[in-house]
Amino acid sequence: MNLQKLWYLEPLKQLKLTKTLQQSYHLNNVEKAFIYLHNYNGTELKTVANMVSRDKRTVSSFVKEADSKNPFAPKDYKKGRWPKKGTKLTERHKEFLMRWIADETIESARKAHSRLNAIKTLKPISYNPVRNFLKSIGNFEKPRLKPELSDKNREKRLEYCRKNKNFDFRKVLFSDESLFQLNQNNQKVFRLKESKLPLGSRLNPNTKIMVWGVICYNGKTSLSIVKDTLKATQYIKILKERRREMLRLFEDRKIWYFLQDGAPSHRPKEVKNYIKRWISKRMINHPAQSPDLNPIEIIWAQMKVKVEKKRPRTKQQLLNAIIESWNSIDKSTIRRVIDGIYQKMDKIIYQNGNIL
């Protein structure tokens, strides 16, 4: 054994002792370990006493006591450590975990681990097996929020789908508004495991722009920019501006329908009277809480993805990105989303009117 490399051969750092300790020659734990190890390796007690600046009799009495009581025996090697926990989950562990998941009473692997170890009838378990088991069956994620339907609205949705399941939506004008803003931040980025989450800029002020548009099987109208809040008078003004464009989309058809949702600006009598007199006498009553039954909502969603990819930083850049994305929507895309409404209706009927 190369004793030159052992830590206890280096000079011991002297500790300040009080008068009482100096008089009684009490040894601290560091000194006891130092003395015992040197004595074990055959160093003379007188030399050891000089190294720790202690009386030889104090050192000698400690060595005798240590030899008789043997406090450094292997049986005390792990004394004072945390008891080792299990590394394999039992069926009982898994049963409790599955029950808590079903009851939605745990939000993380840490909480599940602490709850398992709090049960005295179960064998203590380490954290990693709990985490690995939960990871093998799923992940803790935030639930996707969706509006809760009232019984009345659910019945209206169901009735609407059953009534119009075989209706020809190729002769319908779908109108709606949508809000775009600078700090949308829905674009996902790829992050390597060892890298930090990339930071994006939160722009100030958070500019918002509302737009209004119409689509049908034959195409779309120009996009209208809504200033401030859309009210009935402003809505009628927009309808007047886009009236010729809407009528031009149905030049080859004698009958067409106009569809709008139940937004506050759409409900007044003067709005409905204008639509029936100048645009279409036939209006479809769109059920409440049913954005999934209006194909233009899919167009808005596609546009928002395109706008976010442009990364606009000013109001003018945001406006340009919105107009550019609206102009990029072609007729084939519009026809695809309109034809997809029948499949949605089948799903809604199957789910008894619930939101998809």
Smallest Cα–Cα separation from 179: which of 42, 304, 351? Answer: 304
Q: So what's the pLDDT on residue 307?
A: 92
Give me the residue label for tokens 């106009």. 258
- Domain ranges for the chain: 3-76, 91-137, 151-188+203-350
Give me the pLDDT at residue 21, please. Answer: 45
Residues β-bridged to residue 214: 175
Whether the bond into 205 is cis, omega within 30 of 0: yes
**Interhelix angle 29-40/45-52, nearest 10 degrees:** 150
Q: Which amino acid, 349?
A: I
Cβ-count burial of 31 within 10 angstroms (0-12 exposed, 13-18 middle, 19+ buried)? buried
Give the angle 92-96-98 at the CA atoms, nearest 5°: 115
Place of tokens 């139940």: 262
- The CA–CA distances, whole Å, from 347 to 150, 153, 296, 344 equal 18, 16, 19, 5
Give me the pLDDT at residue 198, please: 67
What pLDDT was estimated at residue 35? Answer: 85
Q: What's the pLDDT score for residue 80?
A: 52
Whether 269 and 237 have beta carbons less than 8 Å apart is answered as no
Q: What is the phi/psi pair of residue 91, to 5°? A: -65, -35
Distance CA 4, CA 15 (A): 24
Residues near 285 by Cβ (< 8 Å), separated by ≥ 6? Answer: 160
Instruction: Flag residues of the chain having pLDDT under 70.
Output: 1-25, 69-84, 144-146, 185-194, 197-198, 200-201, 204, 253, 356
State whether the Cα torsion 335-340-342-348 is positive or negative. Answer: negative
- Residues 301-356: tens digit of each pLDDT: 999 989 988 888 889 999 999 999 999 999 999 999 999 999 999 999 999 988 76
Q: Is the dihedral of CA 48, 52, 57, 61 positive or negative?
A: negative
pLDDT score for 214 = 96
Cβ-based neighbour number of residue 36 at 10 Å: 18
pLDDT value of position 177: 94
Give residue 225's pLDDT. 94
Is 151-188+203-350 assigned to CATH 3.20.10.10?
no
